[in-house]
Amino acid sequence: MSKARVLDHPLVDCHLTNLRKKQTPPSAFRHSVAELSKILAYFASADFPTTASAIETPIQGMQGTAILGRVGLIPIMRAGISMVEPVLGLIPEAEVWHLGLYRDEQTALPVHYYSKLPDSAPVDVALILDPMLATGGSATLACEQMRDWGVSKIKLLSIIAAPEGIQKVNSEFPDVEIHACVVDEKLNEDNFIVPGLGDAGDRIFNTLH
- Cβ of residue 120: shortest distance to ligand PRP, in angstroms? 26
Is the Cβ of residue 93 or residue 190 nearer to ligand PRP in the bound state? Answer: 190
Interacting positions 57-116 with ligand PRP (CB under 6 A): 76, 78-79, 101-103, 108, 110
**DSSP assignment letter at 82:** G
Is the Cβ of residue 72 or residue 137 nearer to ligand PRP in the bound state? Answer: 137
Report the chain's terminal Cα–Cα distance, integer Å: 39
What is the DSSP pairing of strand 61-67 with strand 177-183? unpaired
Choices 7-15, 26-34, 125-133, 170-178; region in contact with ligand PRP by CB under 6 A: 125-133
- The single residue among 99, 137, 149, 179 that binds ligand PRP, judged by CB under 6 A, is 137
Query: Inter-axis angle of helices 10-20 and 26-44, to 10 degrees?
Result: 140
- Region of 187 (left: φ > 0; alpha: ψ -120 to 50; beta: rest) is beta
Residue 133 found at the interface with ligand PRP (CB under 6 A): yes
How far, in Å, CA of 77 to CA of 56, rounded? 41
- The single residue among 135, 146, 155, 197 that binds ligand PRP, judged by CB under 6 A, is 135
Q: For the CA atoms of 3, 108, 184, 138, what is the dihedral angle to 10 degrees?
A: 40
Residues that bind ligand PRP (CB under 6 A): 76, 78-79, 101-103, 108, 110, 130-139, 165, 191, 199-201
